[in-house]
Amino acid sequence: MNTVLRIAIQKSGRLQEDSLKLLKESGLQFSNGRDQLKAQARNFPVELLFLRDDDIPQYIEDRVADAGIVGENVWIEKEKHNELIKRLDFAKCRLSIAIPRAEEYTGISYLKGKNIATSYPVIVKQFLAKNNIEAGIHEISGSVEIAPGIGLADAICDIVSTGSTLLSNGLKEVEVVLQSEAVLIATPSLEKGKQALLDQLLFRIQAVQSAKNNKYILLNCPNEAIEKITSVIPGMKSPTIMPLGRPGWSSLHSVVNENDFWERIGQLKSFGAEGILVIPIEKMIA
Ligand code: PRT
Ligand code: ZN
């Protein structure tokens, strides 16, 4: 039987679309049957299983799936023997403690003896232990943010993204317990064939991520500025330089990291660069 890597992704919810998008950008083609339980890639030995995110770590531990994509918060909370293989740069959020806005927060000792409602009891317990705080944990599975308002708890620990849910429930964020994003996890002991497939997939994901973080840049500059400009945008090895029709000028092509982009552009202009074009990169392999 041919070796197939089974990857579990969320059936529906915040992770579903971006998980599928990442795999598609990595070159995997699936027929669009989202209502199904499984989907087989047409051009790569991968099978997708569509599951609830909370169940994914257990399915991997039980060897029903080999790998999966979940929020880091779920990976930690479930305490299974899964390895974090790669952070995936989407579904970024934080797990935070929040209290009623009218309360005065005096620092972490405020939480002593309080009752904290959460869907993440394991993570909250670890956080309290690390900070030497004794407090009650009240586990609830949904609508955690209403717990203080109905007298169920003094504080909550829940996922925060923009903060608007806290705001509209009269709460304020007082401690960040964990920063989270989508992660690729896998069983630590994959058989050789499956490990090779996972490595190939990782290589592709890496190429997609590098491409997203970088831009291809083309500009015109006077020849005497080439050296300075090269020091600002050295590219992957060195820029490509071609003479322009106009004497004394060149066209310079390079790669620039998205995060440094605006700062670098200012420098390039001050060195005499003109006609700057910036183009997205689809895949990037160093
Ligand atoms: O059905 P299933 O069990 O698979 O899905 P789910 O309902 O458990 O999860 P889902 O789809 O809501 O979230 C999946 C993962 O997305 C989470 O485990 C996080 O890792 C990540 N994520 C990113 C978020 C958010 N952002 C987020 N904003 N998960 C939840 N929220 C909720 C949060 O619970 C709170 O109610 O959004 C609200 C806060 O958002 P703001 O923007 O108002 O602060
Ligand atoms: Zn869930």
Neighbour-count burial of 75, counting CB atoms closer than 10 A to its CB (0-12 exposed, 13-18 middle, 19+ buried): buried
Q: Output b/e per residue, 105-141; b: 16+ Cβ within 10 A.
A: beeeebbeeebbbbbbbebbebbbeeeebebebbebe
Residues 6+ apart with CB under 8 A from 175: 96, 97, 108, 111, 127
Atom of ligand 1 nearest to the CA of 14: 11
The reported pLDDT for the residue numbered 22 is: 97
Q: Are strands 214-222 and 274-280 parallel, antiparallel or unpaired?
A: antiparallel
Task: Tell me how far the alpha carbon of residue 267 is from its chain's centroid.
Answer: 31
Ordered strands of the 38-40 beta sheet: 38-40, 46-51, 5-10, 67-71, 182-186, 83-87
Look at 91-100, 132-141, 240-249, 261-270 and tell me which has the smallest mean pLDDT. Answer: 261-270
Find the residues whose C-beta lies inside 6 A of ligand 1: 10, 13-15, 52-54, 71, 73-74, 91, 93, 158-165, 180
Q: What is the pLDDT of residue 33?
A: 64
Ligand 1: which atom is nearest the Cα of residue 160?
Answer: 44
Give the tens place of pLDDT for each residue, 226-243.
999 999 999 999 999 999
Tokens, residue 205: 């994901």
Element (H, E) at 168: helix 164-168
Per-residue pLDDT, 1 = 72
**pTM across the whole model:** 0.92
Please count the residues of the chain.
Answer: 286
- pLDDT tens figures, 79-94: 999 999 999 999 999 9
Longest dimension (CA), the chain: 78
Where residue 239 falls (left for φ over 0; alpha for ψ -120 to 50; beta otherwise) is beta
